Structure 1
């Protein structure tokens, strides 16, 4: 591991957790892997660690540093931020994604498949929410290439699990800095609760991301049923892609379970894998559809979920669907 690689990853990490002295509300660990869906192609692995600050709206005496209050006051001009009665929190996340071809034992480039690519990013999001809706704005910084550490991470994981050793990382896409902004919004269309606290709800969400790794717009709907449901807006079928599911994720009043499903579509006018893949045949499909189903278990201060997700192929040259599973755990400090 190079000194520059170590310094870069350390810099992103401390940028994200430098607010560790702020009172914390929720921690999250989300893991995507295609082997959880009995697949091994394209999007291979994703890992995200996230931290959501406590919603601090009681003035300087009720919080340490009051990061959420200061951020919401400074960005109150943005739609959905600073509305009277809203809760505010700042989420920091560190994500590492891996993209590999189907045959990971080949040492030569496979130009008719997805190129090897590693991605490491840090995201800071300001969330504003009430019982009906949630809105967030975020800043993205990161790197693509060997500096992402994806090669070492995958080789370590495969050695630990006894899986095939990936041999083509020498062909991965080169180092590039990544930056961008994003905005997300979701609303609860229906939440009905019976006398025995059995709840059914429907939510919808949309988002836009502008970055030099991917530029996209998303629209989706989610349905969830269960007992003693927490009040987060989006069930964790989104996996390592966003922290929108964190606010309210650990506020269940008693132990319970949930079943959920989601459908959505994504428009992708720009993809780094398409633009920078050179001789590889990967060509980004402009419209991608996706679906997810999952099950969750929760009690006050804790939530865990397992999700299976599938999407139409993001590559125009392939008709094979992309499938992966997600394990997610949230706990309140």
Structure 2
């Protein structure tokens, strides 16, 4: 059963029933380096995302309240529209909330380690737009939140560590100071090929490129994903928890809409040219701990995903290159995604 606030959100943002061509989709993303038997660097991330059914228009649908149409109008230059406007275009709204936390390697040190990254937390809410055709998906996402003690990263980590009987990190007094966070993310995905191999066995290949602008992170990125298996989902890939990574609601040919099943393996890559990373560069307007970041960073992931009835569950092992000059080793962590469509 949906919470009351979510029912209100749906009523305020969705257009008339006749405009609905896809289900409402809930996504839960959870990432943690304990999957890789470590507890450092990017140590935990969690995000909830709600992808709406299709709506007719972001601006003029009469079912949208006037205040929301005004907000949408402000973001008119950012609206994602597929390159081939002759194709049928389906649009979705995306709502997210999430938290990320970062820690240095030594949990017992109470003073700043100049050779290791700062303690940091990021708590945010996001609002985004999707526009898709059969083989393209354009996404715009605006994230607003806070970095610092107000992100409650220490409290969240301490709660989990106490519950699991793990020693607490002792250096959270040195975390980045409170600072409002702002981030605008744009990303384009393109399904280059989808080919049957034998029966329901097939593969597809999805590329992406985009970027982020804001005091939290400024970068350009590009990458791709290869999927291979039975009854591939009719969506745009199995993304790890990253800005712009939310995929659209399942399309008409998705097994989730036919109470079917599917199983596939996937491998993905994302490379970034990083100009700003507050979790390494430190606070924007206050003195804080910082390290010298690397400008080229890449993630590679390999995993498996299953679809059954209205559910999609995936797990990936993610490998990330070194992010700053004095980092001793590259990082690995696990990424779990659970989606439910109805």
**For structure 1, which runs of at least 5 residues remain unmatched after alignment?**
1-13
The alignment's TM-score, normalised by the length of structure 2, stands at: 0.83
Q: Is the aligned partner of 1:260 residue 2:234?
A: no
The equivalences for 1:169-318 within 5 A come to: 169-194=172-197, 196-236=199-239, 238-248=240-250, 251-252=254-255, 253=258, 254-276=260-282, 280=289, 282-318=291-327
Name 2:76's counterpart in structure 1: 75
CA gap 1:72/1:225 in 2 versus in 1, 3 angstroms: farther
Equivalenced residues, count: 317
* Residues 223-268 of structure 1: CA deviation (Å, up to 9, x unaligned): 00111111111213x2254443243289324211110001231000
Contact 2:217 2:278 in 1 (8 A): yes
Contact 1:112 1:280 in 2 (8 A): no
CA gap 1:201/1:63 in 2 versus in 1, 3 angstroms: farther
The equivalences for 1:29-44 within 5 A come to: 29-44=28-43
The alignment's TM-score, normalised by the length of structure 1, stands at: 0.85
CA gap 1:195/1:312 in 2 versus in 1, 3 angstroms: closer
* Residues 59-92 of structure 1: CA deviation (Å, up to 9, x unaligned): 9xx996499x965998388452694511110111
SS in 2 for 1:152: helix
SS in 2 for 1:158: helix
Greater CA drift, 273-282 or 25-34: 273-282
Contact 1:234 1:244 in 2 (8 A): no
Contact 1:56 1:63 in 2 (8 A): no
* Residues 170-198 of structure 1: CA deviation (Å, up to 9, x unaligned): 11111000113111100001101245211
Counterpart-to-counterpart distance in 2, 1:191 and 1:184 = 21
Name 2:9's counterpart in structure 1: 19
CA gap 1:222/1:152 in 2 versus in 1, 3 angstroms: same
Counterpart-to-counterpart distance in 1, 2:243 and 2:251 = 16
SS in 2 for 1:19: helix
CA gap 1:66/1:205 in 2 versus in 1, 3 angstroms: farther
* Residues 97-141 of structure 1: CA deviation (Å, up to 9, x unaligned): 000011122222222211110111111110001111000112121
